[in-house]
Amino acid sequence: MVILMGNIQEENKNIEHSMKEVAYNLLKNKEVDLIIGYAKGTIPLSSSPSFIINQKDVDNLIWDNLCHVNLARYVVPPITKIIDNENIPLKVGIVSKGCVGRSLIHLAKENQVNLENIKIIGISCNGIINRKRIEKELGEKEIIELSVMNSEIIAKGVDFVKTFFFDDYLNESCKKCKIKAPPMVSSQSNVIVGGSVESSSGEDDFSDLTEHESKTPEEKWQTIVELLSPCTRCYACREACPMCYCNLCFVDQNKPIWFGKTTDMSDIVSFHLVRAMHVAGRCVACGSCSSACPMGIDLTFITRKLEKIVKQRFDFTSGLSFDILPPMMTQKMNDKEDFMIGEH
């Protein structure tokens, strides 16, 4: 649930303002060499990840409900290094909404990033707009301007104005998100800006899955097939995902060939399900995969279920703590094994 703390636009402006201030000071005090944040996009419904090295460019940073890319992507393979012209590694400050911060913490756990070299500029996110859904619903009407006002998203075209209720048109993963700002981790002095909101401590709410779970296996399969049928196998979901940092993805391995690369439905489904399994217990529900998908497939529909399974079986939520080992990196005698054949 998104709790509206007054005007969202106002809130964003405040976050943006304090974020700029923090970024400016970090650069000024040479605490970081580089800030990775978001800049305004050239078209409506977009934002552009931006690398800022000069204090004067800090003003280009923005924060709004369209900052959808998970910036943790820029510090894990295949991006192996961020260096200057003299080949010296740069200390990076990353503008982090809750899920970006969680990604970084989780990636540090997996030894993919060194948090010593990364400053998490935490901000409290109020949800990312589901741009694919809005685009699809408007159909063949082109949006020229998109803004958020009070609790509404306003899309303007040449000959139309349409409003959407903010809470309904967030990414599905954002709707149930309880971790708005990056969690504080002991080993790291995070910089939280913009009215940090404590993560609500209530039970995780997976009620969105109830409908799907009530279906028969055949119906579930049908839903998944329908969901994935537009897939062109461009792998944008994989490339946008900070957890997909394998040197050679299982689908690209050819000695032996594990998975078909065709656009036959069976190959499409197996790719997405296996990828989802690979990010189980690691996915931070940032929704980057869905927002990168050119065909507008909401892939978080699959990862969401895995999130629930991991929570129930291992009582684990990824990227929350630096002290707990993720379930896929450890083994405990009391791990639930009821997925194994023979146990019911």
Partner 1 sequence: MTDKILKKEEIEKFYLDLSRYFNFFAPTKENGNIVFKKITDPCEIIFDFLNSKVPPKEIVFPRMETLFTYKINGKEIEIEPVNNLNEKYLIFGIRPCDAYSFNLLENFFASGKFQDDIFIEKRKNTILIGMGCNTPRQTCFCTSLDHGGHPHRMDDVDIFLTDLGDKYLMRSISKMGKAIIDKLAWLSDAQRKDVAKAVELSKKAEELIKTKVDLENIAETLKPHFDHPLWKEISENCLGCGTCAFLCPTCTCFDVIDENDHYNNRGKRIRLWDTCQFCIYTTHASGHNPRKSKIERCRNRILHKFSYYPKNYGMLGCVGCGRCIQSCPVNNDLRVIIHKIKNLEKEKIEVKIIAT
Partner 2 sequence: MQLSAYIPCLTTIKSIISENEANDIKTFELVFRKEEDQENFDYNPGQFAEISVIGKGECPIGIASSPTEKGSIKFTIKKMGTVTTAMHMAEVGDAIGVRGPLGNGWPIEELKGKNIIVIGGGFAFSTLRSLVEFIIHDDNRADYKEIIVIYGNRNCSEILYQEDLMRWKKREDVDVALTIDCAEKGWDGRVGFVAPIVESVDPSPKNSIAIMCGPPIMIKTTEAVLEKLHFQPGQILESLENRMKCGIGKCGRCNIGDKFVCVDGPVFSKAELNKMPREY
Q: Which residues bind partner 1 (CB under 8 A)?
A: 34, 41-43, 46-51, 53, 68-69, 73-74, 78-85, 90, 135-137, 139-140, 142, 144, 158, 226, 229-230, 232-236, 239-240, 248, 252, 257, 260-264, 288, 291-292, 294-297
Q: Provide the minimum distance between the beta carbon of 76 and partner 1 in the complex, in angstroms, as a whole number.
A: 12
Give yes or no for residue 247 binding partner 2 (CB under 8 A). Answer: no
User: Coil, strand or helix: which one is 257?
Assistant: strand
Residue 282 binds which of partner 1, partner 2, none (CB < 5-8 A, kind-dependent): none
Question: CB-wise, 86 or 203, nearer to partner 1?
Answer: 86
Question: CB-wise, 69 or 276, nearer to partner 1?
Answer: 69
Give yes or no for residue 257 binding partner 2 (CB under 8 A). Answer: yes
User: Angle at the Cα of 261 (from 341 to 258), degrees rounded to 5?
Assistant: 40
* Pairwise CA distance, residues 55 & 238, whole Å: 33
Q: Provide the minimum distance between the beta carbon of 158 and partner 1 in the complex, in angstroms, as a whole number.
A: 8
* Pairwise CA distance, residues 287 & 271, whole Å: 18
Residue 296 binds which of partner 1, partner 2, none (CB < 5-8 A, kind-dependent): partner 1
* Pairwise CA distance, residues 320 & 328, whole Å: 15
Question: CB-wise, 221 or 258, nearer to partner 2?
Answer: 258
Residue 233 binds which of partner 1, partner 2, none (CB < 5-8 A, kind-dependent): partner 1
* Pairwise CA distance, residues 92 & 117, whole Å: 6
For residues 51 and 32, the answer to whether their CB atoms sit within 8 Å is: no
Burial class (CB in 10 A: 0-12, 13-18, 19+), 6: exposed
Candidates 254, 332, 334, 344; binder of partner 2 (CB under 8 A) is 254
Q: Binding-site residue total for partner 2 (CB under 8 A)? A: 3
Show the tokens assigned to 248: 């050679």
Torsion angle in degrees (nearest 10) through CA of 63, 69, 71, 76:
180
* CB contact set of 202 (below 8 Å; sequence gap of 6+): 178
* Pairwise CA distance, residues 265 & 242, whole Å: 26
Count of residues making up the chain: 344
Q: Provide the minimum distance between the beta carbon of 254 and partner 2 in the complex, in angstroms, as a whole number.
A: 5
Residue 338 binds which of partner 2, partner 1, none (CB < 5-8 A, kind-dependent): none
Question: CB-wise, 140 or 337, nearer to partner 1?
Answer: 140
* Pairwise CA distance, residues 263 & 302, whole Å: 19
Candidates 30, 81, 255, 344; binder of partner 2 (CB under 8 A) is 255
Give yes or no for residue 332 binding partner 2 (CB under 8 A). Answer: no
The footprint of partner 2 (CB under 8 A) covers 254-255, 257
